[in-house]
Amino acid sequence: MTLKSALQDLQEGTLAAVSGLLAKLAYLASLRNREGRYEHWGLSHVHGEESSDRAMKSAHSAVLSTVLQTPISELREDLHQASRNSHQTTDAYLEGIRGQFNRLLPAAQDKASARHLNSVLAALSGLEKNQKRATRSTS
């Protein structure tokens, strides 16, 4: 039997079951407590708290980096899928993500990533609003 690292376990188990980049980012953000540490009972139980925390922070950083490098058109499709999967409108889904903005960033001091992510979320929101306006005007 091959033992997996906490990061492998997280990536191949938990995160593989979460569909889409924005959903993965929101999920990892939801695992952070008020002090900024990650809490995942199963992972901590198997790998220990420190190892699990490092793995979740590493995965969170990687997912954020991927989101920030993904073309906005692909993120828009990802947003549509994530909102459908959560049974929300795209506006409600984006509002939920923005509501946990500080937890979306694995390192609070990363101001450049914060500005970039804020711009990405604003662009997605703007595209959705423009699409709704265009749809209403052609109806």
Q: How confident is the model at residue 35 (pLDDT cuts 50, 70, 90)?
A: confident
Residue 113 domain-assigned (yes or no): yes
Please state the domain count of the chain.
Answer: 1
Stretch 50-75: mean pLDDT: 96
pLDDT of residue 136 exceeding 70, the answer is no
Stretch 59-82: mean pLDDT: 97
Percent of the chain at pLDDT > 70 equals: 95
The pLDDT value recorded for residue 87 is 96
Q: What does the pLDDT look like over 74-109, one tens digit per residue? A: 999 999 999 999 999 999 999 999 999 989 999 877
Q: How confident is the model at residue 73 (pLDDT cuts 50, 70, 90)?
A: very high
Question: 């906005």: which residue's tokens?
Answer: 72
- Concatenating the DSSP letter of every residue in 37-69 gives -B--HHHHHHH-HHHHHHHHHHHHHHHHHHHHH
Handedness of CA 67, 22, 74, 135 (dihedral sign): negative
C-alpha–C-alpha distance, residues 68 and 38, integer Å = 22
Percent of the chain at pLDDT > 90 equals: 81
The pLDDT value recorded for residue 52 is 95
Q: Which amino acid is it at 89?
A: T
Q: What is the pTM of this model?
A: 0.90
User: Do residues 38 and 14 make contact, with C-beta atoms less than 8 angstroms apart?
Assistant: no
Residue 1 domain-assigned (yes or no): no
The tokens describing 102, both together, are: 């500080």
Q: Which residues contact 4 (CB under 8 A, 6 or more apart)?
A: 12
Range of the domain at 98: 6-138
C-alpha–C-alpha distance, residues 119 and 36, integer Å = 23
Residue 102 domain-assigned (yes or no): yes
